[in-house]
Amino acid sequence: IMASTAAGKQRIPKVAKVKNKAPAEVQITAEQLLREAKERELELLPPPPKQKITDAEELNDYKLKKRKGFEDNIRKNRTVISNWIKYAQWEESLKEVQRARSIYERALDVDHRNITLWLKYAEMEMKNRQVNHARNIWDRAITILPRVNQFWYKYTYMEEMLGNIAGCRQVFERWMEWEPEEQAWHSYINFELRYKEVDKSRTLVMVHPEVKNWIKYAHFEEKHGYIARARKVFERAVEFFGEEYISENLSVAFARFEEKQKEFERVRVIYKYALDRIPKQQAQELFKNYTVFEKRFGDRRGIEDVIVSKRRFQYEEEVKASPHNYDAWFDYLRLVESDTDADTVREVYERAIANIPPIQEKRHWRRYIYLWIDYALYEELEVKDPERTRQVYQACLELIPHKKFTFAKIWLLYGQFEIRQKNLQNARRGLGTAIGKCPKNKLFKGYIELELQLREFDRCRKLYEKYLEFSPENCTTWIKFAELEAILGDTDRARAIFELAIGQPRLDMPEVLWKSYIDFEIEQEEYDNTRGLYKRLLQRTQHVKVWISYGQFELSIDSDDRIQRCRQIYEEANKSMQSCEEKEERLMLLESWRDFEDEFGSFANKERVQKLLPEKVKKRRKITAEDGSDAGWEEYYDYIFPEDAANQPNLKLLAMAKMWKKQHPDTQILCKYQYLMSCYG
């Protein structure tokens, strides 16, 4: 082994040493190397020789070789989709559709968002007349990449070529749910028109409400002879854009349409309306068309009158300068409501409500929402148009972002409006939707109050149940629910509701709930149940007011042993509160006991309670500042109970010292000490 290693070492050539290390006369830069490499790429290589295959074995060898080459290319770089496509197309050229399909599926596992890959895959299936496979691929493509319009166009074209009109329409409907670009909608409309489905074309929703689309819509109606519908489309377009965003092109198209219909007065009104609202520098074409119209069918004085008589109101200028100044809109609306017709008022309202607050925060919407309320009330009370009022309420409710905040006032006003229209079903549907979307305490209360007025007690029960699921800690709801059952005479249900309520782990006002439960049992004259409730409550809290209320309850019962029961409760309370740190509460209990004994007790009982009352003592304590430094002393009053004084000798010593001082005011301190020591013998 060592010999072979030595021989191997001898065979390794030595590296030649560079003797001349001076730079070469001709320097080659990196840029030159890259340029030469690029030029050599363009050199034409001789084509490979054509290979003729004569038998099956040679064909299989050829296939194996080609497949191995394709697989090697894929293995080197899986992300190059062109390698996959070439591989699949080669298999397709050999009529190996199943293999080509497998290759496309493998490629989709690598990059399922490649548009070319999906297109080639589907085109292969269509070439080979595999219709169901092609449908499957298109369905998968539009599911994964719904925003690629090319998939939808080819899918609908395939279905139409196959004569599957219903399937093509279904694909179009799925496409329209994604609200694509304008051309997609026009393709759908043209498809329906090819099959004489004019009504279906009309019902398509305008997702792109630009001026040109409104004009196309109107021309479509006019072309098919629906003059009234075309006029309605123009009117809807004008209402949609409002006074602030009225378009010159729309006004000109509307006026030309009316001119074709020989409605010259309507043409004049349209031109005047547009000229009053569009700035002069933006209305050159409009002015030109109006001038031509007046030359043909009127006089030039009409144009001059329109231009000269433009009104510039203070409110109009103010709302233009600050569209989100809702107070200015309120003043403006109040003015137009008193002086103008309903159509003008509606236009101003539409302009006002179009100024949606830019920030979705409730504090920015509080003033804005009253524009909708005033609008709805105006339509209902002044114009007497319930259908339009309903539309106003529905538009407002659709506008509010209920996932972030809502306005219970709007929901309740809508429900009350439907009740006034004797449409109870709509009212319930609206309030039910409100509770489902954005439950609030005010909504539940208003809905329950409505059903109570209608005497629908079963619905009230269901609403209370939903309310308590939403807010189980709300004691007021529990109390109102139980009161409803008590009014209906179902005391067992009321008692069960109270029991569920006091069993909740978290309550906002538990003391009110317990008091209502106790009052309910007293009203039902179930005194044993009431005593049980007091005892359960005292297990949870030892508050002095509970003890006093318990004693007063026993005193209020018309029985022979009521005084004895009340006294016993006071004794238990005093014994229980001896360890209480709040001495004021203990004093409150003893004062209540004293008042009771003064009215119903004997002299011995009065003396006994009097001896339990504490002594009020003034004391001093140190005050510490926030930074920990000494801030001085303060005086405060403390209460010393006889039981506490008996348990603490120093308190007893202090009391005896005070007594001695009264008896011997001139004796020295030593005598005081000797006297005290003799007392303790």
Domains and CATH numbers, the chain: 209-290 (1.25.40), 542-613 (no CATH), 614-680 (no CATH)
pLDDT by residue (tens digit) across 320-374?
A: 888 888 888 888 788 777 766 788 888 888 888 888 888 888 888 888 888 888 8
Q: Is 20 helix (H, G, I), strand (E, B) or coil?
A: coil
The pLDDT score that the predictor gives to residue 5 is 41
pLDDT by residue (tens digit) across 466-484?
A: 877 887 787 787 878 777 7
Report the percentage of the chain scoring pLDDT > 70: 84
How many CA atoms are closer than 13 Å to the CA of 664, on its beta-carbon side?
A: 13
pLDDT by residue (tens digit) across 393-411?
A: 888 888 888 888 888 888 8
Burial class (CB in 10 A: 0-12, 13-18, 19+), 640: middle
Are 148 and 122 in contact by the 8 Å Cβ rule? The answer is no
The residue that leads in pLDDT, 585 or 165, is 165
The pLDDT score that the predictor gives to residue 2 is 41
The pLDDT score that the predictor gives to residue 481 is 76
pLDDT over threshold 70, residue 667: no
The pLDDT score that the predictor gives to residue 519 is 80
The pLDDT score that the predictor gives to residue 499 is 76
Residues contacting 311, CB < 8 A, separation 6+: 276
pLDDT over threshold 60, residue 680: no
Residues contacting 504, CB < 8 A, separation 6+: 472, 473
Residues contacting 149, CB < 8 A, separation 6+: 180, 181, 183, 184
3-state helix, strand, coil in the chain (%, to 5): 70, 5, 25
The residue that leads in pLDDT, 588 or 281, is 588
- Least confident range of 198-212, 218-232, 403-417, 532-546: 198-212
pLDDT by residue (tens digit) across 512-555?
A: 877 877 787 778 777 778 778 777 777 777 777 777 787 777 77
Res. 310 pLDDT band, cuts 50 70 90: very low
Question: Which amino acid belongs to residue 87?
Answer: Y
pLDDT over threshold 70, residue 81: yes
CA 78 to chain centre: 44
Query: Which string of DSSP letters, residue by residue, matches 158-201?
Result: HHHHTT-HHHHHHHHHHHHTT---HHHHHHHHHHHHHTT-HHHH
Q: State the pTM of this model.
A: 0.44
The pLDDT score that the predictor gives to residue 661 is 67
The pLDDT score that the predictor gives to residue 13 is 58
The pLDDT score that the predictor gives to residue 665 is 60
Are 553 and 530 in contact by the 8 Å Cβ rule? The answer is yes
Mean pLDDT, rounded, for 251-261: 80
Q: Within a 10 A sphere around the Cβ of 240, how many other Cβ atoms?
A: 16
The pLDDT score that the predictor gives to residue 660 is 66
The residue that leads in pLDDT, 213 or 88, is 88
Give kind and range of the element (H or E) at residue 605: helix 603-612
